Amino acid sequence: MTSVDFIVPGDIETLTGGYIYDRRVVEGLKTRGWTTTVHPLDTSFPTPTRSALREAGHVLAAIPSGRLVVIDGLALGGSASILRAAARRLSLCALVHHPLALETGLDESAATALKRAETESLAAVHHVIVTSRWTRCALADYGVGADRITVVEPGVDRAPPRRPSSSETLRLLCVGSLTARKGHAVLFDALGQLADRDWRLVCVGSLTRNPALTAKLRVQIERLGLGERIVLAGELAPGDLGEQYANCDLFVLASALEGYGMVLTEALARGIPIIATEAGAIPDTVTPGAGILVPPNDSAVLVRALASVMDEPGTLAGLTEAALAARTALPGWDRTVERFAAALARVSAT
């Protein structure tokens, strides 16, 4: 079978890791001769409105029987009933980046409801593709056996190494939408305690996905007196983002959870050392020796990690050397697409 339908809530062109992964896989399958069709769903998923769920049912019903269908994990919230109906005539494969219920900021009731909904939806599909070994392990708590899961990690594009700087200012870069899970507040708090050091931070990522949080972060920056040192650049086109990578000395990410962390391998592809958390799949993503990992939501430990790089030139040099050495071993997108296609072939054969 060389035809596949992708069910994706929202716009697949959205500049987040999950959507970029989906898009690169779709594009890669096309180059291998697959016929791919993307069906966008309403953006209310993973907590769909009644009309959104009804429309999702119509989308699945319109797909010819016997077709292979990949459902992005965002669509698993609340869609169990329509997936059970579709599974009688379609080969369904879920694509899970990380469990929905683990999103930062959910209250206990919302998290419980999402976990129940996702568990029911995962039980309805025939196979599950995940983007990390960590996510595979996490789904055991959702009743998904290892025999129903294939790990297909993201790839990364080859890139030239970062440009060395003659400036004494340490150039920091953080890439991620301004959402609670990305931990910007923790990072800003840590940097506020290091205001006597010479550094500058550029944050790249959507400022509109959570406008209320963005406003709070702007207030925090001003309260800390860091308005001239922290730049909220918003989303950038690929070329402009590449320039930010090329001109930084250290990549920083204070996430509370990552199902993989593609921005981390994008940094390593340019020989940029990393300070990040131990959350989710990050320890598997960051090459040992190329970064310092700290517990999530702990600004005190993050302060110490940042200070070690700012105060001890040998620390940054050692991390950079390891990051440069890691560049050649990073997997490319061709391998990702090849493994994804192989997983789909196994699903269609069952």
pLDDT at 61: 96
pLDDT band at 229 (very low <50, low <70, confident <90, very high): very high
What does each C-alpha distance from 200 to 141, 188, 231, 232, 236 come to in angstroms?
41, 11, 8, 11, 18
Q: What's the pTM value of the predicted model, to 2 decimals?
A: 0.93
Q: Cα(first)–Cα(last) distance of the chain, in Å?
A: 12
Residue-wise pLDDT tens digits, 23-49: 999 999 999 999 999 999 999 999 999
pLDDT at 336: 98
Tokens (6 digits) for 98: 């990380």
* Rounded Cα gap, residues 106 and 102, in angstroms: 8
Q: Running DSSP on this structure, what letter comes out for residue 188?
A: H
Whether 170-329 and 3-155+332-349 are alike in CATH topology: the answer is: yes
Residue-wise pLDDT tens digits, 109-143: 999 999 999 999 999 999 999 999 999 999 999 99
pLDDT at 350 over 80: no
Residue-wise pLDDT tens digits, 4-28: 999 999 999 998 999 999 999 999 9
Residue-wise pLDDT tens digits, 100-111: 999 988 899 999
Residue spans of the domains in the chain: they are: 3-155+332-349, 170-329
Q: In the CATH scheme, what is the homologous superfamily, with its name and number, of domain 170-329?
A: Glycogen Phosphorylase B; (3.40.50.2000)
User: Smallest Cα–Cα separation from 250: which of 287, 220, 304, 292?
Assistant: 292
Residue-wise pLDDT tens digits, 160-169: 999 888 789 9
Domain boundaries 3-155+332-349, corresponding CATH code: 3.40.50.2000
What does each C-alpha distance from 323 to 135, 294, 341 come to in angstroms?
25, 18, 30
